């Protein structure tokens, strides 16, 4: 009993609570409903509390990448810095600017946080531990992301501030645009696993993780999740040096804190989704027999992907909104379509003709990647030679040289 | 009153209440937000009807795209003082009458058919339904033609909307003879 | 169990609220919102009939998916038209858009 309890703490806890509740006289259905509620509350609380650690780790790591120390005063290695920030935010006065639409103004940060925490309902944390086994889990992730966009729009509109409104428009334009390649690429693990249920997708990654079968899809999904989150290089949404503070200009104290928490938690959540879809979730040696090991593997993979997005944030500069949208519509969406169609073709051919699925898919991905690189190289050469000829031509034209790519 | 009936009544009340607010509130952006609530209520009802795929597609397509588009249009076509003017036409009572008459007629019609009083059969398996739905959309003997027509319709709507709503191209001022390196 | 009539009455009510919205609102965007309510009522009706009368035949859900596609394209084109009219006439009040060409 001892090893089993340590090996599978979730199942053990669930059993104990179930017997307790049915012992109190609740019917089976009501007991299950109460357990689901308790599980949801625990999950949400653990997530929101873990942002303390995440924000501190992010600031420390980012500082080291930028050759400085980061918070190191409050507690050993500055661990309690986030707590200090939270206490400061709690103590600040919540200023409600004049003329705001009060109900929407206070609802918006709730919606944004809700959309991030809601994604965790379908992520399998360990074998058999999933908030709810939705058959359309992948589409649910997209749907919940759409609710977050709504929150941002409401935040910008209700602030009674035209710069906040402009920031909200740009933010929603970016988020809606990058949803398109994200949805297309999310279909790739669906095709490979044959189901939209995230638990089934994790179980189907048994011989090989999907990142090895469809590396291009993983790369595109990584880029689009960076853009959906609003992290560099796509952090034009609330670029600290432009547009005042974007859609959350008029928010102060705890309301602003909720946007902040939502952004950091979203980075962690995106890492969790990538780990589930492409890196095999809780899969690892010994995960089926000891589910707690599965949870440890899942956590490790999520932290690795989160660190990757942090690394990108500390390295690349921000890109402009028109560059961002051009990149999305001219490069990412056609690439996502190409990846989807070639994966569907290659996988079906491999299944019907009995070839090796892994090699066929990998080969198809390689072909698409080479074609894309060749196309990008040809385009870059054409641009460079055009600019060269315009410079060498020496004419000082009256109209400025068009920078529209 | 079983749990399912309670949930149905709550979702129905939410949807109808939000719908009434959509058509009566004077501020346009508030109406759009009430519309989002009504659409969410319909999504809950789809889930109650054992069609989870349709519920999620409702959230993604209606709330995540159409409602955001409506909010954009409402914000971009505002004029000062527009929200405080008349919101209903002068013959609004005719509209109300027509709606009430239609509702009365539909109620009488629905309550007459005996087959509708029965409770539903066993719950269908959602996973099998999903596979069935996907297969039927590409099956030559099933619904591939409407599927292709719908995609052509969406493409036409995409191109049409972009064409209709694009900004007017500005002509260069006067008779400039320089290289036209301006707007694409 | 929830009888089918409850769903049908609910969708009839939603349809009539949508009709009232279309017939008696001045703002074109508000009229479009009424249309969306009506389309949702129709969808609810279709799925309710599918679930209760023929759950084995998938064409009920296919019909609903087609309605989704049509509603999306109609909303996109309608809103593009409204924005274009607003640019020319700077009004979206349906009563004031009454000239074919000025």
Phi, psi dihedral angles at A182 (to 5 degrees): -65, -45
Give the chain B residue nearest A152 (alpha carbons).
B68
Kindly tell me if the per-residue pLDDT of A336 is higher than 60. Answer: yes
Across the interface, do B158 and C76 touch by the CB < 8 Å criterion?
A: yes
Q: Is residue B98 part of a domain?
A: no
B70 and B4 together in one domain: yes
Count of pairs with CB atoms under 8 A, one residue in B, one in C: 250
Full domain range(s) for residue B72: 1-78
Is the peptide bond preceding residue A233 cis, with omega within 30 degrees of 0? yes
Q: Is A126 helix (H, G, I), strand (E, B) or coil?
A: strand
**Residues forming a β-bridge with C93:** C27
Question: Rounded to whole angstroms, how far apart are CA atoms A141 and A185?
Answer: 13
Task: Report, in angstroms and rounded to the nearest whole number, the Rg of chain A calculated over CA atoms.
Answer: 24
Kindly tell me if the per-residue pLDDT of A316 is higher than 70. Answer: yes
Across the interface, do C62 and B86 touch by the CB < 8 Å criterion?
A: no
In the prediction, which pLDDT does B183 show?
A: 38
Q: Quick one: average pLDDT of A208-217?
A: 87
Q: Is residue B69 part of a domain?
A: yes
Q: Is residue B161 part of a domain?
A: yes
Torsion angle of C-alpha atoms B66, B67, B68, B69, degrees rounded to 10: 50
- CA C76: distance to chain centroid? 13
Of residues A400, A331, A359, the one with CA closest to residue A214: A359
Distances in Å between the alpha carbon of B107 and those of A306, B79, B104, B154? Answer: 56, 41, 5, 35
In terms of Cβ atoms closer than 10 Å to its own Cβ (0-12, 13-18, 19+), residue A67 is exposed
Check: CB of residue A179 under 8 Å from CB of residue B93.
no
Question: Rounded to whole angstroms, how far apart are CA atoms A173 and C75?
Answer: 18
Tell me the fold of C26-91. Helix Hairpins (1.10.287)
DSSP string computed for A132-146: ---TTHHHHHHHHHH
Kindly tell me if the per-residue pLDDT of A245 is higher than 80. Answer: no
In the prediction, which pLDDT does B178 show?
A: 41
Q: Quick one: average pLDDT of A326-345?
A: 91
**Residues forming a β-bridge with B88:** C25
Tell me which of B36 and A397 has the higher pLDDT: B36
In the prediction, which pLDDT does B45 show?
A: 94
Q: Is residue B6 part of a domain?
A: yes
Kindly tell me if the per-residue pLDDT of B170 is higher than 80. Answer: no
Tokens of C48: 């309710």
Kindly tell me if the per-residue pLDDT of B175 is higher than 70. Answer: no
In terms of Cβ atoms closer than 10 Å to its own Cβ (0-12, 13-18, 19+), residue B16 is middle
What is the ipTM score, two decimals? Answer: 0.91
Domain spans of chain C?
A: 26-91
Of residues A109, A238, A95, A231, the one with CA closest to residue A164: A238
Across the interface, do B87 and C26 touch by the CB < 8 Å criterion?
A: yes
Of residues C36, A41, A124, the one with CA closest to residue B35: C36
Q: Quick one: average pLDDT of A192-217?
A: 87
Q: Quick one: average pLDDT of A217-225?
A: 92
> Measured between CA atoms, how close is C101 to chain B, in angstroms?
17
Kindly tell me if the per-residue pLDDT of A341 is higher than 80. Answer: yes
Tell me which chain B residues have a C-beta less than 8 angstroms from the C-beta of C95: 89
**Residues forming a β-bridge with C25:** B88
Question: Rounded to whole angstroms, how far apart are CA atoms A9 and A178?
Answer: 39
pLDDT tens-digit map of B76-115: 887 654 566 677 778 888 999 999 999 999 999 988 887 7
DSSP string computed for C27-72: BHHHHHHHHHHHHHHHHHHHHHHHHHH-TT-THHHHHHHHHHHHHH
Write down the mean pLDDT value for chain B: 83
Q: Is residue B118 part of a domain?
A: no
Q: Is residue B181 part of a domain?
A: no
In the prediction, which pLDDT does B184 show?
A: 38
CB atoms within 10 A of CB B157: 20
Across the interface, do B130 and A136 touch by the CB < 8 Å criterion?
A: yes
Return the exposure string of B121-151: e unless at least 16 CB atoms fall within 10 Å of the residue's CB, then b: eeebeebebbebbeebbeeeebbeebbeebe
Across the interface, do A146 and B56 touch by the CB < 8 Å criterion?
A: no
Write down the mean pLDDT value for chain A: 82
pLDDT tens-digit map of C35-77: 999 999 999 999 999 988 888 888 889 999 999 999 999 999 9
Q: Is residue B33 part of a domain?
A: yes
- CA A216: distance to chain centroid? 17
Tell me which of B84 and B8 has the higher pLDDT: B8
Question: Rounded to whole angstroms, how far apart are CA atoms A78 and A68?
Answer: 14
In this complex, the residue of A29, A149, A165 whose CB is nearest that of residue B64 is A149
Q: Is residue B95 part of a domain?
A: no
Q: Is A285 helix (H, G, I), strand (E, B) or coil?
A: coil
Crossing angle of helices A28-65 and A9-23, in 10° steps, is: 150
pLDDT tens-digit map of B28-54: 888 999 999 999 999 999 999 888 899
Give the chain C residue nearest B74 (alpha carbons).
C29
Per-residue pLDDT band at B181 (split at 50, 70, 90): very low
Question: Rounded to whole angstroms, how far apart are CA atoms A66 and A72?
Answer: 15
Contacts of residue B152, defined as CB under 8 A and 6 or more positions apart, other chains included, come to none
Kindly tell me if the per-residue pLDDT of A399 is higher than 60. Answer: no
Across the interface, do C73 and B156 touch by the CB < 8 Å criterion?
A: yes
Across the interface, do C16 and B62 touch by the CB < 8 Å criterion?
A: no
Of residues A88, A90, A81, the one with CA closest to residue A58: A81
Tokens of A180: 């398109």
Q: Quick one: average pLDDT of A366-381?
A: 88
In the prediction, which pLDDT does A35 show?
A: 81
Per-residue pLDDT band at C10 (split at 50, 70, 90): very high
The total number of structural domains that make up chain B: 2
B70 and B143 together in one domain: no
In the prediction, which pLDDT does B179 show?
A: 43
Which residues between 178 and 197 in chain A have a beta carbon less than 8 angstroms from any beta carbon of chain B?
179, 195-197
Tokens of A201: 């997708």
Helix (H) or strand (E) holding A365: helix A357-393
Helices (H) and strands (E) in chain A, counts: 15, 0
pLDDT tens-digit map of A145-161: 888 888 888 888 887 77
Kindly tell me if the per-residue pLDDT of A93 is higher than 90. Answer: no
pLDDT tens-digit map of A350-368: 888 877 777 888 888 888 8
User: Tokens 């048994």 correspond to what residue?
Assistant: A206
Tell me which chain B residues have a C-beta less than 8 angstroms from the C-beta of A150: 36, 63-64, 67-68
In this complex, the residue of B52, B64, B127 whose CB is nearest that of residue A146 is B64
Tokens of B20: 């009434």
Tokens of A115: 């959309």
Check: CB of residue A197 under 8 Å from CB of residue A137.
yes
Q: How many CA atoms lie within 13 A of C36 on its CB side?
A: 35
In this complex, the residue of C6, C19, C26 whose CB is nearest that of residue B98 is C19
In the prediction, which pLDDT does A393 show?
A: 67
């Amino acid at each position: 009993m001892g090893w089993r309890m340590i090996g599978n703490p979730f199942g053990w806890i669930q059993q104990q609570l179930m017997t307790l509740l049915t012992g109190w006289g609740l019917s089976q259905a009501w007991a299950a409903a109460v357990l689901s509620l308790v599980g949801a509350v625990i999950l949400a609380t653990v997530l929101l509390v873990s942002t303390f650690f995440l924000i501190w780790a992010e600031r420390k790591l980012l500082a080291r990448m930028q050759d400085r120390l980061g918070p190191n005063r409050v507690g050993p290695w500055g661990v309690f810095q986030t707590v200090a920030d939270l206490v400061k935010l709690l103590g600040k006065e919540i200023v409600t600017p004049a003329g705001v639409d009060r109900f929407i103004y206070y609802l918006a940060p709730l919606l944004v946080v809700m959309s991030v925490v809601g994604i965790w309902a379908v992520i399998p944390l360990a074998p058999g531990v999933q908030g709810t086994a939705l058959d359309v889990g992948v589409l649910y992730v997209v749907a919940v992301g759409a609710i977050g966009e709504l929150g941002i729009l409401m935040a910008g509109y209700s602030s009674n501030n035209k710069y906040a409104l402009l920031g909200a428009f740009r933010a929603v334009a970016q988020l809606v645009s990058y949803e398109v390649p994200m949805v297309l690429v999310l279909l790739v693990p669906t095709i490979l696993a044959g189901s939209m249920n995230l638990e089934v997708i994790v179980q189907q990654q048994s011989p090989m993780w999907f990142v090895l079968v469809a590396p291009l899809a993983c790369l595109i999904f990584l880029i689009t999740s960076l853009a959906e989150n609003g992290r560099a290089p796509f952090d034009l949404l609330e670029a600290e040096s432009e547009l005042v503070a974007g859609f959350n200009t008029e928010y102060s104290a705890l309301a602003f804190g909720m946007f902040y928490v939502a952004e950091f938690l979203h980075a962690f959540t995106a890492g969790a989704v990538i780990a589930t879809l492409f890196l095999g979730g809780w899969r690892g040696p010994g995960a089926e027999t000891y589910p707690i090991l599965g949870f440890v593997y899942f956590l490790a993979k999520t932290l690795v992907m989160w660190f990757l997005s942090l690394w990108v944030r500390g390295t690349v500069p921000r890109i402009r909104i028109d560059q961002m949208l051009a990149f999305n519509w001219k490069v990412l969406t056609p690439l996502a379509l190409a990846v989807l169609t070639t994966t569907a073709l290659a996988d079906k051919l491999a299944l019907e003709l009995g070839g090796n699925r892994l090699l066929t898919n990998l080969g198809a991905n390689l072909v698409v990647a080479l074609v894309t690189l060749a196309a990008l190289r040809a385009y870059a050469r054409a641009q460079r030679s055009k600019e060269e000829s315009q410079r060498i031509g020496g004419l000082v034209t009256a109209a400025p040289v068009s920078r529209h790519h | 009153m079983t749990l399912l009936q309670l949930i149905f009544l709550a979702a129905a009340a939410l949807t109808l209440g939000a719908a009434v607010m959509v058509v009566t509130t004077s501020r346009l952006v508030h109406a759009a937000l009430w519309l989002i609530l009504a659409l969410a209520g319909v999504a809950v009802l789809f889930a109650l009807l054992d069609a989870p795929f349709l519920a999620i597609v409702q959230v993604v397509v209606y709330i995540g795209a159409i409602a955001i588009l409506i909010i954009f249009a409402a914000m971009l076509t505002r004029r000062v003082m527009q929200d405080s003017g008349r919101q209903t036409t002068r013959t609004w009572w005719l509209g109300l009458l027509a709606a009430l008459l239609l509702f009365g007629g539909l109620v009488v019609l629905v309550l007459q058919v005996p087959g509708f009083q029965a409770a539903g059969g066993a719950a269908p398996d959602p996973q099998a339904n999903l596979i069935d739905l996907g297969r039927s959309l590409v099956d030559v003997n099933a619904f591939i033609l409407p599927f292709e027509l719908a995609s052509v319709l969406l493409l036409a709507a995409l191109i049409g909307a972009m064409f209709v709503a694009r900004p007017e191209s500005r002509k260069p001022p006067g008779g400039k003879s320089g290289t036209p390196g301006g707007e694409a | 169990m929830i009888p089918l009539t409850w769903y049908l009455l609910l969708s009839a009510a939603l349809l009539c609220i949508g009709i009232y919205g279309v017939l008696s609102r001045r703002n074109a965007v508000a009229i479009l919102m009424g249309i969306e309510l009506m389309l949702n009522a129709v969808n609810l009706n279709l799925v309710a009939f599918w679930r209760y009368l023929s759950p084995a035949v998938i064409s009920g859900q296919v019909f609903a998916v087609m309605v989704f596609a049509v509603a999306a394209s109609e909303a996109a084109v309608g809103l593009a038209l409204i924005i274009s009219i607003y640019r020319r006439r700077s009004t979206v009040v349906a009563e004031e858009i009454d000239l074919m060409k000025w």
